[in-house]
Amino acid sequence: MFGIGVEGELMPPQDKIIIQDFNFHYSALHALHNIHLTIKSNEIFSIFGPSMSGKTTLLKSLNRLTDLIFRVRHTGTIFLDGKDIYDPEVDVTQLRRRVGMVFDLPTPLRMSIFDNVAYGPRLGGIKEKKRLSEIVEKALRSAVLWEEVKDRLHTSALRLSGGQQQRLCIARVLALEPEVLLLDEPCSGLDPISTLKIEESLIELKKEYTIVIVPHNVQQASRVADRAGFFLSGELVEVGTAYQVFTKPKDKRTEDYVTGKFG
């Protein structure tokens, strides 16, 4: 995606996240090996590969959710807008507002649809009803859920379908106005129609956000991603445009995976 310069010319996308020589260990397990990766602003970057390849570990490292795990360690650097996220001066709470994460299983709170989305802004000190209503509507529209729920905002979120609950969880993160959206298999277990709606919402969301997704399968990665990286046994094997990686992979291991020979 290209931005517009001061005189109207197209400008190349900026680097949002830069990962340099990043290693991650769970006790004795070396989960990520010397990762070097750049993710651009306003792109959908797909991290794909078989189970236990380090995908979710990298995703959680991007907003330091891995800090919550006992006996882990890392080396190397992750930059967000040029700032090392592991710098001691970094406010981790603020980092997680800037880099929000949605997990594979939707987890709506036991409250209304409105209150689910307003929960984070309220914790942040926003109390004015009009302002909260604006935030909730914007977040639900961005998650392509507004038209389906606008007449029942004060009913329980638990009454939504699985696909709607997942989009609600996306809206809940968007209400905090993040810059980066991390998605860990957001369509896992959803029917094709719900999956399609979420994929359509991602295409719209990248206009405002940088999105890093661990897709449900190779087909989903090829549909939604601008660029993709193939992970295998904690190693980043190959990075390229989605078209190149899925149709003309350079590494034999990538080719074997995308053609279904293993995984």
Per-residue pLDDT, 216:
83
Per-residue pLDDT, 126:
95
Domain ranges (residues) in the chain: 3-258
Tally of CB atoms within 10 A around 147 = 9
Per-residue pLDDT, 4:
47
Rounded distance between C-alpha atoms, residue 92 and residue 50, angstroms: 30
**CATH code, 3-258:** 3.40.50.300
State pTM to two decimals: 0.90
Q: What is the largest CA-CA distance in the chain?
A: 57
Per-residue pLDDT, 190:
82
Residues 45-93 pLDDT 10s:
999 999 999 999 999 999 999 999 999 999 999 999 999 999 999 999 9
Cα dihedral sign, 241-244-250-253: positive
Spatial CB neighbours of 154, under 8 Å, sequence gap ≥ 6 = 112, 113, 114
Partners of residue 29 on adjacent β-strands: 26
Kind of pairing between the strands at 3-4 and 10-11: antiparallel
Spatial CB neighbours of 110, under 8 Å, sequence gap ≥ 6 = 156, 157, 158
CB contact at 8 A, 183 and 212: yes
Whether 10 has a pLDDT exceeding 70, the answer reads no
pLDDT band at 11 (very low <50, low <70, confident <90, very high): low
Rounded distance between C-alpha atoms, residue 147 and residue 139, angstroms: 12
Partners of residue 30 on adjacent β-strands: 25
Residues 100-145 pLDDT 10s:
999 988 999 999 999 999 999 999 999 999 999 999 999 999 888 9
Residue 110, CA distances (Å) to 33, 53, 101, 243 in order: 40, 34, 20, 42
Q: Give the H/E segment covering residue 32.
A: strand 29-40
Encoding tokens for residue 37? 């990766």
Residues 178-211 pLDDT 10s:
999 999 998 887 888 888 888 888 988 999 999 9
